[in-house]
Structure 1
């Protein structure tokens, strides 16, 4: 079975709601010109055969389409390759050792997940993401995120990295993912300057 067929099989066997977006040829060609990525690798297969993949309207794997790998990586001020995001503005990066790290929006720090890209994919499709995000899911999250654009996320005030009495007590708003990421890294840089 080729790699893409096995991905489709894994999606079919998942208990989660998974959407595979269509490839945009222009985006695909831009990515191929800019990056040297092995098309036969698992990452290359996701990147070049899909326009991105959305899991439970919460996790978004980048591809060559609406979830544009190129554009999303342009938002990111560091050199790691970002392969996915969540609706909160959390980022998943592929490190030099090919393992995945998570940029957590509640503490603005990189947390090594100590899993490979293939293990990350399995976790996204079949793993216990509910427990992973348990502290950051408000009562109406399922209904709220069904309606948001794939270019947007949910911003909180007070911010997730600031103290607050409860998640439910924070004001929530749909804003562009570019604004969420910019705000996170601007604040992170300010913290570094004050140390």
Structure 2
């Protein structure tokens, strides 16, 4: 059984709703031209054999399609590779040591998850993501996520990195994920410049 078949089997065995997006050949060729990524690796298999993978309409793995790995990394002002996002604007990156780090939208800081890519994949497909996100899931999140565009995220006001009475007290709206990512890093750069 090859890596792709193992991924398919893992998805079939998951109790979560997981969607594959189709590949766009133009995007696939663009990624291959710009990035030197081993196509036989687990990461490379997802990147080059899918247009992206969506877990519970909440975590999105980038691929060579609608969840465009090239475009998302082009927005990213750091050298690490981001390979996934969540609908809050949280980003998952592969560090030089192979471990995964999470850019948290509630504090605009990187948090090491101390797991490898394969462990992260297993966690996303089979692990307790509900507990990880329990402070950021509002009452109607499951229904709301069924309607969200694959290219959008949920923006909160006050922003998640600003104190508020509760998550439910924050105003939510669906906006392009590119806007959420840009806003996060623009704000972070402003804060760092003031230090």
Smaller-chain TM-score range?
Answer: over 0.9
Shift of 1:4: 0.2
Determine the structure 2 residue equivalent to 1:127.
127
**Partner residue, 2:171:** 171
Unaligned runs of 5+ in 1: none
Q: Could you state the TM-score of these two structures normalised by the residue count of structure 1? A: 0.99
The residue aligned with 1:52 is 52
Separation of aligned partners in 1, 2:170 and 2:84: 25
Number of aligned pairs? 195
Partner of 2:40: 40
Q: Structure 2 CA distance, aligned partners of 1:33 and 1:194?
A: 38
Q: Which residue of 2 aligns with 1:154?
A: 154
Per the alignment, residue 194 of structure 1 pairs with 194
Tell me the TM-score normalised to structure 2 length.
0.99
RMSD: 0.5
In the alignment, what sits opposite 2:14? 14
C-alpha distance in 2, partners of 1:85/1:157?
20
Structure 1 consecutive aligned stretches of length 4 or more whose deviation exceeds 4 Å: none
Q: Give the C-alpha shift of residue 78 in structure 1.
A: 1.1
Q: Gaps spanning 5+ residues in structure 2: where? A: none
Post-superposition Cα deviations, 1:123-154, rounded to whole Å, max 9, x if no partner, equal: 00000000000000000001111111111000
Kindly state the Cα deviation for residue 34 of structure 1 after the two structures are TM-superposed: 0.5
1:80 matched to which residue of 2?
A: 80
The Cα shift of 1:193 comes to: 1.4
